Amino acid sequence: MAKIVIDARELRTSTGRYVERLLYYLQQVDTENSYKILLAPKDIEGWKPSNRKFAKVACKYKEFSFGEQLGMLKQLHHLKADLVHFPMAQQPILYGGKVVTTIQDLTTARFRNPNKNWLVFTIKQQVYKFVIYWTAHKSAQLITPSEYVKNDVARYTRINSRKVTVTLEAADFITDEAEPISDLEGKAFIMYVGRPQPHKNLDRLISAFAILRQSAPNLRLVLVGKTDSLYRQLHKQTDRLGIKNVVFTGFVNEGQLRWLYEHSEAYVFPSMSEGFGLGALEAMRYGAPVVSSNATCLPEIYKDAAVYFDPIDIEEMAHMIETVLKDPQLRKHLISRGKVVAGSYSWKRMAEQTLGVYKEALNQT
């Protein structure tokens, strides 16, 4: 029996679904090893293990901090683990025990965040690049969510790709009943769900929508996501350019999200960089035809269940969206294939594969 520690400090962040699903299914598939789950203090009460071999431990040290490098290092030594799994690249770089690291993508190493102080972000980005390189070399095994990221990480860090295992993620069913959004009932709309970071390419999506409105003046573009400074900037951009019918919903609950998927004319994913692309897979489960960027891993994940465009080419983006809106046979194909492709992915299989990576790492000398 091995003692395994999993860093779950990001349980409630954008990476949280991966961590939460991993923990949920590991408790079903591993009855042999014992686990210590490191949680941020605010998450201690909210996460409850279902397997008696899983115990939670508070970890007060934040990502990208000196506390992480010093205090968490000391905590890990105290726990005396046979293996530690970090679901993100950030970790105490001086920790010398056996490590498995998941690298979701290299987006943070390549794109800037204008919402952050330029100097502070630049320094942190350089540190992050070093951490990725260092952890890729010192980890016993690496995990990525797609073949694209596997090859990208291998090239970027100059490691042998045989050290990297792909564990495909999955989209969950929404169990809540669909809850209509009154302002959109009876309206035709396309949609996007997620954060508005620059690499998500929403400014070009809005520009493509402005072209679409010339032939579909009643169409709406619905942008779903918690209101933050970047979404407010996009809102100001649409007002300044006079682009009508762009709807910023802010936060929506699960039932409202399900209703949006079920009633959208198309789900558009214009991103320039992804590690897996969960949002569009979730939309596929509920019958939304997907129109996607052809960047990075997206054609690998969505296969023939989407139509693709160059994310830099605004006119091509508008044209492909219009094609899906106007071609009933294509829509029928995308809806049918989307449900098949989305259903082919499995969180439980991801957990089983991850357990296999643990065993391989533990057997390394």
DSSP string, 148-190: HHHHHHHHHHT--GGGEEE-----PPP-SPP---GGGTT--EE
For residues 26 and 354, the answer to whether their CB atoms sit within 8 Å is yes
Percent of the chain with pLDDT over 90: 86
CATH code for 3-170+346-362?
3.40.50.2000
Pair of tokens at residue 226:
């918690």
Q: What is the pLDDT of residues 114-124, one digit of tens each?
A: 667 677 778 77
Cα angle for residues 42, 47, 52 (degrees, 5° grid): 135
pLDDT for position 285: 96
pLDDT class for 65, splitting at 50, 70, 90?
confident
Whether residue 109 has pLDDT greater than 90:
no
pLDDT for position 283: 97
pLDDT for position 58: 97
Average pLDDT of the chain, as a whole number = 94
Average the pLDDT over 63-82 and give the result. 93
pLDDT for position 145: 97
Whether residue 250 has pLDDT greater than 90:
yes
Q: How far apart are CA 116 and CA 111, in angstroms?
A: 12
Delimit the domains of the chain by residue range: 3-170+346-362, 182-343
Q: Bridge partners of 198?
A: none
Pair of tokens at residue 213:
């409105």
Pair of tokens at residue 321:
């969206």
Average the pLDDT over 221-235 and give the result. 94
Amino acid letter at 363? N
- Residues 109-124 as b/e (b if ≥16 CB within 10 A, e otherwise) read beeeeeeeeeeebeee
Whether residue 14 has pLDDT greater than 70:
no
pLDDT for position 63: 85
Average the pLDDT over 27-41 and give the result. 97
Whether residue 259 has pLDDT greater than 90:
yes
Q: How many CB atoms lie within 10 A of CB 286?
A: 23
pLDDT for position 218: 96
Answer whether CATH 2.130.10.10 is correct for domain 182-343.
Answer: no
Q: What is the pLDDT of residues 276-321, one digit of tens each?
A: 999 999 999 999 999 999 999 999 999 999 999 999 999 999 999 9
- Residues 199-225 as b/e (b if ≥16 CB within 10 A, e otherwise) read bbbbbbbbbbbbebbeebeebbbbbbb
pLDDT for position 16: 85
Average the pLDDT over 32-38 and give the result. 98
